[in-house]
């Protein structure tokens, strides 16, 4: 398989994952804004931060304002992480790796592009937002379904999965990074309604609110939320789960190619950290420091995978 | 429902009766509801858009991905007609390869005075770097598309020989696929010869042309200029259907005297490269130094027998429009037989008498640029305005050697489905030919291009033409 194609698959699925995550983030922010009594736009600021888009947004719009933030995150062509930009980039990469994916995967991506492009042709009015966001999530599920149902389980599949889970791990880590102050016991007023809403937002943005309630029997605390998002291997958007998937797929590549690379060492270290750690220790040494370490490790991993598998010359 | 009397309609004879190849189809069609069929047309368009069969039109950045319209009425050729055509095509393709071998070796045909030497010597499509190089199996044109037009019951003409990188075969395959999906019942009623084997045949044909350096199994790859190329879909489609890598110039480099592609496990040699990149961009070290699409040094590897390039560099000299007019001589020179397929009479404007004739009759002629393709830079006299003719006259007078002229042919028509039912439109046909050292294989049918505008004679997709599925009936 060509190195350029491996890179194209990796990025295609990173962008797809990103578009879904951004849609979830907008959903969470919108939900949050609806439930706020004072109608301020504070929450949108942290949404922008989570999307790593704050400074670029401010350059463009000056101040944080709900309609503009939503538009920036969904439709803005100059925002490379907007849903539309991400889906267009995913499709561009899909075209470039057309020979590596099945017709059904290609059609699912191409369909997604065409449907989303039409849906996002104009700014989205608040009353249409839930439907549009739901549609974007549904399209993501469609592509994922086509991938699972029609692709050979070989190196092509591995690079697609590695891209997906690297993006997902990165996304969950960034949500924690932006929100860590809400989760710190010293600052949060346990049980206050404001914090409940904030936690809800965090969980909602990783599609985890329902699972969390089942697992915790309805009892929320900052520590259990952080534990859930970092260490719970059953939760498909937790760091542990995502990192585990990356490790598994890198392991398949090692077995298929018979070569162990530096990226295998990096993922081993990250995985060990999650396997041996626990939430008490993380809070002791500092949640923020821990998250930064994770983000840095994931970034190094991405760059090393690109080198090891010759994405570029 | 009948064609304009002066044109030969392939479905309906002058008295309105249905010609024999179309009889079974007509019986089916008469029972169908036009409205339902129109719906099918729209369905077909959605199908094509989903699969991503689009092409990029040069000079139209806005509409960067356009669909070639598809008409659901098939173009039908009887098995008997087809058998005759294939003989002529095979003869022509053999002659083209013999001509190319000769031009790059002893140049007997020039010495014999059958083709003027200056036509070759001053031609950009002739590559001196190919002199003395014998490609594996002496095959120059691994893939050829011979453009045919019909003017009467038994009157077929070759309009053009596409010996460089003929495109359109993916449309032939997808058109059939679409028809099979939309009208399965038609194919159980009417026995149509298969086209779907083309990708496998192409793979076998290319595999049979391995270079001396190949050891064991043959690695084939398709070289594309990239996703922005107008035919990218086809490049990806063919690579996918053949099960081979689709490579770009940036994936390739010379490693140990071989062309190798950068894989996830390091560089791996390629034996046969089906390139969809023009000669000039193939090798920045040997040709256009600005090119980012090719592979520096590939020509040196090629000459040393390290790789097979399909089609061979320098084949363009054989489909040059000025050479075209000599094809009847070329066929006779190399095969010892008269050409089975007729050439369209052609005036070479480099010749003074011809130029005068052409200038006097511009409103009746089709004038083409010698090196042009895709319907660009051409004048269709009868359809052109006074102003367009005047502008073209000036160009022609400035550079007569750059043009040839042909009479406006009364291209045959085949009905398309319009709101009002069937209506005749002009068509041409591009059959696809695969050449390997011991075999010439012609896929039954090919790509039928159809002018969708009433009365228009220009079928090129870049100029608003569409396509049809082409059926060759089992006898």
- B421-474 pLDDT, tens digit each: 999 999 999 999 999 999 999 999 999 999 998 888 888 777 778 999 999 999
Give the C-alpha separation, A7 to B243, whole Å.
Answer: 19
pLDDT recorded at residue A307? 97
**What does the pLDDT read at residue B216?**
87
Place of tokens 């890198």: A250
Q: Which ipTM did the prediction report?
A: 0.85
- H helix runs in B104-168, sequence order: 108-111, 117-121
Q: Does any CB of chain B come closer than 8 Å to the CB of residue A99?
A: yes
User: What integer pLDDT is reported at residue A152 of this predicted model?
Assistant: 93
Q: Which strand (E) or helix (H) includes residue A140?
A: helix A129-150
The chain B residue lying nearest A305, using CA atoms, is B264
Q: Is A162 on the interface with B (CB under 8 A)?
A: no
Tokens of A148: 């699972």
Q: How confident is the model at residue A196 (pLDDT cuts 50, 70, 90)?
A: low
H/E stretch holding B232 reads: helix B232-242
Cβ atoms < 10 Å from Cβ of B80: 12
- Interface contact A107-B227, CB threshold 8 A: no
Residue B60 banded pLDDT, cuts 50, 70, 90: very low
CB pairs under 8 A between A and B: 60
Specify whether the CB–CB gap between B52 and A108 falls below 8 A. Answer: no
Cross-chain Cβ contact B263/A1 below 8 Å: yes
CA A305/CA A162 separation, integer angstroms? 9
Interchain CB contact of A114 with B (< 8 Å) = yes
B338 neighbors B346 (Cβ within 8 angstroms): no
Contact B38, B417 (CB under 8 A): yes
Question: pLDDT (tens digit, 9 = 90+) per residue, B276-290?
Answer: 999 989 998 888 888
Which of B173, B264, B266, B295 to mutate: most A Cβ within 10 Å? B264
Q: Strand B272-275 relative to strand B220-223: parallel, antiparallel, unpaired?
A: parallel
Sign of CA dihedral B455, B456, B459, B462: negative
Give me A83's structure tokens. 């849903």
The long-range contacts involving B228-235, CB below 8 angstroms and separated by at least 24 positions, are B228/B56, B229/B56, B229/B276, B230/B55, B230/B56, B230/B57, B230/B58, B231/B55, B231/B167, B231/B276, B232/A95, B232/B56, B233/B52, B233/B53, B233/B54, B233/B55, B233/B170, B234/B167, B234/B168, B234/B169, B234/B170, B234/B171, B234/B276, B235/B276
Residues of chain B positioned with their CB less than 8 A from the CB of A102: none
* Residue from B220, B125, B211, B107 nearest B164 by CA: B125
Mind listing the pLDDT tens digit for each residue in B335-383?
A: 999 999 999 999 988 888 999 999 999 999 999 888 765 556 788 888 8
| Encoded tokens for B387 | 């102003």
* Per-residue confidence (pLDDT) for residue A254, from 0 to 100: 98
Which of B246, B264, B266 minimises the CB distance to A99?
B246
Return d(Cα A107, Cα B148) in angstroms, integer: 34
Q: What is the mean pLDDT of residues B390-399?
A: 91
Inter-chain CB proximity B251 and A3 less than 8 Å:
yes
In this prediction, residue B64 has a pLDDT band, given cuts at 50, 70 and 90, of low
Cα–Cα distance, B202 to B199 (Å, whole number)? 5
Q: CB of A309 within 8 Å of any CB in chain B?
A: yes
Q: Does residue A149 or residue B288 have the better pLDDT?
A: A149
CB contact under 8 A, A1 and B264: yes
How far is the C-alpha of A65 from the C-alpha of B463, rounded, in Å? 48
- Kindly report the number of other CB atoms within 10 A of residue A215's CB atom: 16
Paired tokens of B418: 């319009």
Q: Which residue among B237, B246, B262 places its CB closest to the CB of A310? A: B262
Asked if residues B348 and B118 have their Cβ atoms less than 8 Å apart, the reply is: no
Query: How close, in Å, is residue A264 to chain B by CA atoms?
Result: 15
- Convert B386-408 to b/e letters by CB count within 10 Å (16 or more is b): eeeeeebeeebeeebebbbbbee
Cα separation of B470 and B447, whole Å?
7
Three-class SS state of B436: strand
* pLDDT for the residue numbered A39: 58
Max intra-chain CA distance, chain B:
69
- State yes or no: pLDDT of B78 exceeds 60: yes
Name the pLDDT band for B54 (thresholds 50, 70, 90). Answer: low
Specify which of A279-283, B90-94, B400-404 reaches the highest per-range mean pLDDT. B90-94
Q: Do B166 and B430 form a contact (C-beta atoms < 8 A)?
A: yes
Minimum mean pLDDT range among A27-36, B171-180, B239-248: A27-36
Bridge partners for B348 per DSSP:
B404
From chain A, the residues in CB contact with B265 under 8 A are 257, 259
User: Taking CB atoms and an 8 Å limit, are B266 and A99 in contact across chains?
Assistant: no
Report the distance separating Cα B116 and Cα B196, nearest Å: 42
CB contact under 8 A, B265 and A106: no
Which chain B residue shows the shortest CA-CA distance from A253?
B264
């Amino acid at each position: 398989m060509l190195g350029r194609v491996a890179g194209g698959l990796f990025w295609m699925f990173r962008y797809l994952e990103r578009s879904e995550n951004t849609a979830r983030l907008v959903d969470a922010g919108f939900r949050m804004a609806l439930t706020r009594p004072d109608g301020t736009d504070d929450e949108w600021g942290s949404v922008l931060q989570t999307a790593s888009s704050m400074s670029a947004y401010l350059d463009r719009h000056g101040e944080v304002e709900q309609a503009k933030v939503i538009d920036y995150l969904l439709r803005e062509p100059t925002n490379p992480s907007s849903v539309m930009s991400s889906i267009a980039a995913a499709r561009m990469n899909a075209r470039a790796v057309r020979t590596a994916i099945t017709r059904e995967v290609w059609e699912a991506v191409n369909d997604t592009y065409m449907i989303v492009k039409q849906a996002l042709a104009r700014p989205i009015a608040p009353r249409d937002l839930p439907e549009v966001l739901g549609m974007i999530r549904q399209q993501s599920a469609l592509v994922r379904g086509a991938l699972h149902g029609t692709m050979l389980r070989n190196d092509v599949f591995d690079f697609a999965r590695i891209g997906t889970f690297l993006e997902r791990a990165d996304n969950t880590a960034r949500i924690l990074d932006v929100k860590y102050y809400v989760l710190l016991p010293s600052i949060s007023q346990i049980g206050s309604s404001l914090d409940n809403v904030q936690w809800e937002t965090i969980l909602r943005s990783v599609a985890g609110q329902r699972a969390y309630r089942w697992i915790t029997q309805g009892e929320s605390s900052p520590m259990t939320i952080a534990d859930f998002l970092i260490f719970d291997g059953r939760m498909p958007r937790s760091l542990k789960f995502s990192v585990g998937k990356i490790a598994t797929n890198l392991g398949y590549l090692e077995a298929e190619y018979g070569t162990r690379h530096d990226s295998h060492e990096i993922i081993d270290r990250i995985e060990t950290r999650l396997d041996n750690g626990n939430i008490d220790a993380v809070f002791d040494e500092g949640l923020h420091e821990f998250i930064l370490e994770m983000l840095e490790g994931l970034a190094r991993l991405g760059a090393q995978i690109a080198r090891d598998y010759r994405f570029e010359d | 429902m009948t064609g304009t009397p002066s044109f030969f309609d392939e479905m309906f004879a002058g008295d309105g009766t249905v010609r024999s190849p179309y009889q079974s189809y007509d019986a089916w069609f008469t029972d169908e509801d036009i409205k339902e069929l129109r719906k099918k047309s729209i369905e077909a368009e959605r199908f094509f858009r989903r699969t991503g069969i689009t092409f990029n039109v040069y000079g139209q950045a806005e509409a960067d991905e356009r669909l070639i319209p598809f008409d659901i009425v098939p173009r039908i050729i009887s098995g008997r007609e087809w058998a005759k055509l294939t003989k002529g095509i095979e003869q022509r393709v053999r002659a083209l390869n013999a001509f190319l071998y000769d031009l790059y070796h002893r140049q007997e045909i020039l010495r014999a005075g059958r083709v003027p030497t200056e036509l070759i010597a001053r031609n950009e499509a002739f590559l001196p770097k190919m002199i003395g190089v014998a490609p594996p199996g002496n095959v120059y044109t691994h893939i050829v598309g011979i453009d045919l037009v019909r003017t009467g019951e038994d009157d077929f003409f070759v309009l053009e020989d596409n010996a460089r990188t003929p495109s359109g075969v993916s449309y032939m395959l997808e058109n059939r696929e679409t028809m099979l999906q939309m009208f399965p019942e038609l194919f159980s009623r009417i026995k149509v010869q298969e086209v779907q084997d083309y990708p496998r045949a192409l793979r076998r044909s290319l595999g049979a042309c391995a270079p001396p350096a190949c050891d064991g199994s043959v690695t084939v790859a398709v070289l594309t200029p990239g996703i922005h190329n107008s035919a990218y879909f086809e490049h990806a489609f063919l690579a996918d259907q053949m099960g081979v890598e689709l490579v770009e110039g940036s994936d390739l480099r010379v490693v140990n005297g071989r062309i190798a592609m950068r894989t996830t496990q390091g560089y791996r040699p390629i034996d046969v490269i089906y390139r969809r990149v023009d000669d000039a961009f193939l090798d920045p070290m040997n040709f256009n130094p600005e090119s980012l699409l090719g592979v520096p040094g590939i020509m040196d590897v090629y000459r040393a027998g390290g790789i097979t390039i399909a089609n061979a560099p320098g084949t363009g000299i054989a489909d040059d429009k000025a050479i075209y007019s000599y094809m009847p001589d070329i066929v006779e020179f190399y095969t010892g037989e008269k050409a089975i397929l007729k050439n369209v009479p052609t005036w070479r404007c480099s010749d003074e008498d011809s130029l005068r004739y052409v200038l006097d009759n511009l409103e009746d002629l089709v004038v083409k640029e010698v090196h042009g393709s895709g319907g660009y830079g051409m004048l269709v006299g009868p359809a052109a305005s006074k102003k367009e003719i005047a502008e073209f006259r000036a160009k022609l007078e400035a550079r007569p050697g750059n043009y040839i002229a042909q009479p406006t042919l009364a291209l045959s028509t085949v009905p398309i489905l319009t709101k009002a039912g069937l209506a005749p439109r002009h068509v041409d046909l591009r059959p696809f030919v695969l050449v390997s050292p011991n075999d010439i294989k012609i896929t039954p049918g090919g790509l039928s291009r159809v002018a969708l505008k009433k009365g228009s004679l220009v079928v090129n997709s870049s100029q608003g033409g569409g396509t049809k599925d082409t059926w060759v009936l089992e006898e």
